[in-house]
Amino acid sequence: MNQTVVYPGSPYPLGATWDGKGVNFALYADNATGVELCLFNSTDDEVEAVKVMIKERSHQVWHCYLPDVKPGQLYGYRVHGPYEPQNGHRFNPKKLLIDPYAKAIAGTINWSDALFGYKMGDPEEDLSFSDVDSVPFIPKCVVIDDHFDWEGDEPPRIPYNESIIYEAHVKGFTKQHPDIPEEIRGTYAGMAHPVTINYLKELGITAVELMPVHHFVADRHLVDKGLTNYWGYNTIGFFAPDARYAASGVLGQQVTEFKQLVKALHRAGIEVILDVVYNHTGEGNHLGPTLSFRGIDNASYYRLTEDKRFYMDYTGTGNTLNAYLPNVLRLMMDSLRYWVLDMHVDGFRFDLAAALARELHEVNRLSAFFDIIYQDPIISQVKLIAEPWDIGEDGYQVGKFPPGWAEWNGKYRDCIRDYWRGADSMLGEFAERFTGSSDLYKNDYRSPTASINFVTAHDGFTLHDLVSYNDKHNEANLDDNRDGEDHNRSWNCGAEGPTQDEAVLTLRRRQQRNFFATLLLSQGVPMILAGDEFGRTQQGNNNGYCQDNELSWLNWKERDNDLLQFTRQLIALRKAHPAFCRRRWFQGQPIKGIGLEDIAWFLPDGAEMSDEHWSHDFAKSMAVFFNGKGLHVSGPKGEQIVDDSFYIIFNAHYEPLDFRLPHEKYGHNWKKMLDTKDLQVKAGEEVYAGEGVINVDARSVVVLQHKLKH
């Protein structure tokens, strides 16, 4: 490489871009007074091999072009400017900085005081200045070759109403899988292995929602305790797949390995949704390290308070990216487009999405972030899912996101948990949540599929633990059990944690089936937490964010195969019947020519429920009729879609109840398809006449089917 030849280059595109002959480098740093590009020969270098003072600046972008530089080249930046924290500026050229647009990052941080822009322990704290070089402790960026043979890969484009989402952690999912080669367990390659793919297909999953794979920072305070940031909600590289999950190498191989994962899942008809964290970065608050954005141009990336030394914190992590600034919006949109166009992902789940909507302090539903996504021809066409809250004032925004967005429905989770644990809760809310939460989404021209229904997610108890613990048990997190949610809406079924009491164990197993039956028969989009389908436990830990070990990894050897088979059958039932996957709202009105409503609710005595029944907080038992002729939708050729009718009985009471089936006009005979009390039920063998009586056991769900006459 000729170390002296430097061409002016171009301000676009940002990042390091190889064109087959050389590499263009471009960095946004509005308030900087100078930028140095540093090149390294190996990941172990403690000093740069070449230092290029970038002379070209177009508006706020510093850029140069180096001929003969090739993929695999390691690099970073040093940025000059004022060190005035009180004015929002934290430039320190002694700190090597990660390119915000780096496509690959060669390894992880080795924590040292040298990574901080100020002198650790100084009484002036961050107002002091550190002149210790950070090169030995920070990973270098990597120039990549973005060529990849996709072999005609096409996105599955599965409609929301046909989707079954599966939330999984790349490492935790395969780290202990006995049938996957040991050298690729816990990696992108392990996730792409045929054993993994076949499992997901047999389960019936249509989309894998991967917990963060953007390159992230493991917090120093955790590492010092012997823990780590396992979940990954602490991004430092919004374009780079995290090197920790690469089996093949960290000098760009991680990019290819991730693409191979996406290609393998797409071949199986499974979409890839990324959990993304654009609301903050891994640099923390004013006492955090200087790794990238803070040293490149602090005031141009973060939301600062009136005293510009400090950061607005809507996320609980110390800082908030300023989505009000054009360069930050551009970074976010460039990143999203990159993951769609170059990495072929099918959608995104936005962590603490309410933080992105904040323009000043209030959550503004028409913020620039949403406007830009809405008009973007690439991003607007993939699945967009919001975690619709942050920790700021008015941060709980369930039901408030614009059309085109789906939302994690926290109200669904809370309501369904309360219903099955026997808490005082209104039947009316249960009916709303079960039928798609029209109270949240209908008046905004959104459909039932705006609701991502879930009972459990990575944050909180697993399903097994939800029915096994009344209280959290987070001692392993070394925070005196203070962390994690205290109000879990859980019920241990009579004993806290592990027990030999068979009656308690039997009830726990049934409760897990009740939750799955409710989730998978609800209108909206079901999301399953990986491992819940076979009874995975975290031993009562409801905040496993720092547990990169057997506590969080899926235990494939101790799985509950009965629960797994039950879940497979439920998913197959849902996917086979449009009645459970409606694209439009129930109307609750008679259908022409039939005289029956598309939906009707019944008391155990067979009478239809009246308005007064919905407000009873003690009632725990009811049934719902889904009319298969009342779907109100057409197929791809305009044909009217119809289905069988279903009668679903919920008995959350602690005693068995007799349910009288409705009048014969709703169905002459009903076949039992599922009973959460009895795993031995063979679908269709038991038949009940209209207006007949069926005994439903305590805390059980029964599904009856009336075949459509062709």
Is 555 part of a structural domain of the chain?
yes
Structure tokens, 534: 């076979």
Name the residue among 292, 281, 165 with its Cα closest to residue 229.
Answer: 281
Count H helices, E strands: the chain?
14, 28
Residue burial 590-625, b: 16+ Cβ < 10 Å; e: rest:
eeeeeebbbbbbbbbebeebeeebbeeeebbbbbbb
Is residue 424 packed enough to be buried (19+ CB in 10 Å), middle (13-18) or exposed (0-12)?
exposed
Q: Are 595 and 535 found together in one domain?
A: no
Residue 189 parent element (H or E): helix 188-191
Is 313 part of a structural domain of the chain?
yes
User: Do residues 294 and 303 make contact, with C-beta atoms less than 8 angstroms apart?
Assistant: no
Beta strand residue intervals within 289-417, DSSP E: 347-350, 383-386, 406-408
Q: Are 540 and 674 found together in one domain?
A: no
HSE toward the beta carbon, residue 33, CA cutoff 13 A: 9
User: Do residues 127 and 86 make contact, with C-beta atoms less than 8 angstroms apart?
Assistant: yes
User: Do residues 308 and 278 make contact, with C-beta atoms less than 8 angstroms apart?
Assistant: no
Q: Are 554 and 615 found together in one domain?
A: no
Please report, for the domain that includes residue 354, its CATH number.
3.20.20.80
Could you tell me the residue range of the domain that residue 667 belongs to? 586-706
Structure tokens, 381: 């066409």
Q: Are 612 and 551 found together in one domain?
A: no
Chain-centroid distance of CA 346 in Å reads 13
Is 241 part of a structural domain of the chain?
yes
- Domains: count for the chain: 2
Q: Are 561 and 674 found together in one domain?
A: no
Mean pLDDT, 10 residues at a time, the chain of 710 residues: 80 98 98 98 97 97 96 98 98 98 97 98 98 98 98 97 98 98 98 98 98 98 97 98 98 98 98 96 98 98 97 92 93 98 97 76 71 93 90 79 92 96 88 94 90 98 98 98 96 98 98 98 98 98 98 97 97 97 85 73 92 79 93 85 96 96 94 91 87 97 89
User: Do residues 350 and 384 make contact, with C-beta atoms less than 8 angstroms apart?
Assistant: yes
Calculate the alpha carbon distances from 523 to 207, 436, 438 in Å.
17, 5, 10
Alpha carbons 561 and 568: distance in angstroms, whole number: 10
Q: Other CB atoms closer than 10 Å to residue 57's CB: what's the count?
A: 15
HSE toward the beta carbon, residue 111, CA cutoff 13 A: 14
Q: Are 656 and 688 found together in one domain?
A: yes
Active site residue 387: yes
Alpha carbons 216 and 231: distance in angstroms, whole number: 9
Residues near 394 by beta carbon (within 8 Å), at least 6 away in sequence: 362, 363
Q: Report angle CA 464, 449, 648 to the nearest 5 degrees.
A: 60
Active site residue 414: no
Q: Tell me which residue has tokens 């302090």.
A: 361
Structure tokens, 304: 């600062």
Which residues does residue 105 pair with via DSSP β-bridges, in sequence order?
A: 141
Please report, for the domain that includes residue 635, its CATH number.
2.60.40.1180
Structure tokens, 343: 């990495």
Q: Other CB atoms closer than 10 Å to residue 65's CB: what's the count?
A: 20
Q: How many residues does the chain have?
A: 710
HSE toward the beta carbon, residue 222, CA cutoff 13 A: 17
Q: Are 535 and 633 found together in one domain?
A: no
Helix/strand/coil percentages in the chain, nearest 5 = 25, 20, 50
Q: Are 563 and 666 found together in one domain?
A: no
Give the dihedral sign, CA 597/599/603/609: negative
Is 180 part of a structural domain of the chain?
yes
Q: Are 685 and 570 found together in one domain?
A: no
User: Do residues 703 and 624 make contact, with C-beta atoms less than 8 angstroms apart?
Assistant: no
What single string gives the DSSP state of each residue in 100-141? TT-S-B-S-----GGGSSS-TT-TTGGGS------GGGSPPE
Which residues does residue 210 pair with via DSSP β-bridges, in sequence order?
A: 168, 274
Q: Are 546 and 610 found together in one domain?
A: no
Is 234 part of a structural domain of the chain?
yes
DSSP classification of residue 358: B
**Predicted local distance difference test score (pLDDT) of residue 501:** 98
**Predicted local distance difference test score (pLDDT) of residue 1:** 46
Which phi and psi (to 5°) does residue 184 adopt?
-115, 5
Q: Are 601 and 565 found together in one domain?
A: no
- Give the β-pairing of 645-651 and 621-626: antiparallel
Rg (CA), the chain: 27
Is 641 part of a structural domain of the chain?
yes
Q: Are 201 and 315 found together in one domain?
A: yes
Residue 381 parent element (H or E): none
Is 285 part of a structural domain of the chain?
yes
**Predicted local distance difference test score (pLDDT) of residue 2:** 45
Name the residue among 338, 332, 335, 339 with its Cα closest to residue 271.
Answer: 339
Is 199 part of a structural domain of the chain?
yes
Which of these is catalytic: 36, 313, 387, 432? 387
What single string gives the DSSP state of each residue in 82-97? -EEGGGTEE--TTS-B
Which of these is catalytic: 99, 257, 346, 351? 351
